[in-house]
Amino acid sequence: MIGQLHSYVIDAPDAHALACFYGELLGMQVQGSPGDDWVVVTGQGYRLAFQQAPDLQPPDWPDPARPQQTHLDVRVADIDTAEPAALALGARRLPGGGGDFRVYADPVGHPFCLVWDAPL
């Protein structure tokens, strides 16, 4: 095992509004405010995250020209150990990232993030 699932992240033109929808639908608590770029819904041992994407072209299932827009956040204890292990499995590093996350593509090209020191 390289890491643990930290978040399932969903892009949205209004992250807070979509988080409120899922919070109500699933009986979970929203952590964030209107206008936030990143809003989290937690409860029952699960976590969903909603990322602001103002120019989002919504999916048009099953049209492959407008695919689903989500990614996994995988929590790791040590990024310096986890990154080479993920790359050895076939991941590739993508541009972007921050102080507590790095962005990768799986072998098919789907993005995911390795995150560390991230609160639940």
Question: Running along the chain, 120 residues long, what does each successive block of 10 average in pLDDT?
Answer: 94 95 94 97 94 90 84 93 96 92 90 82
The domain in which residue 52 lies consists of 1-56
Residues 12 and 62 grouped into a single domain: no
pLDDT for residue 119: 59
pLDDT for residue 101: 95
pLDDT for residue 57: 87
β-sheet bridge partners, residue 4:
75
pLDDT for residue 75: 92
Residues 95 and 46 grouped into a single domain: no
Closest C-alpha to 105, from 118, 116, 92: 92
pLDDT for residue 33: 98
Residues 31 and 85 grouped into a single domain: no
Residues 42 and 91 grouped into a single domain: no
Residues 61 and 48 grouped into a single domain: no
Residues 63 and 99 grouped into a single domain: yes
User: Could you tell me the two tokens for 38?
Assistant: 């990143």
* Total of domains in the chain: 2
SS3 string, the chain, reads: CCCEEEEEEEEECCHHHHHHHHHHHHCCEEECCCCCCEEEEEECCEEEEEEECCCCCCCCCCCCCCCCCEEEEEECCCHHHHHHHHHHHCCEEEEEEECCEEEEECCCCCEEEEECCCCC
CATH number at 62 reads 3.10.180.10
Residues 27 and 66 grouped into a single domain: no
pLDDT for residue 58: 85
pLDDT for residue 44: 85
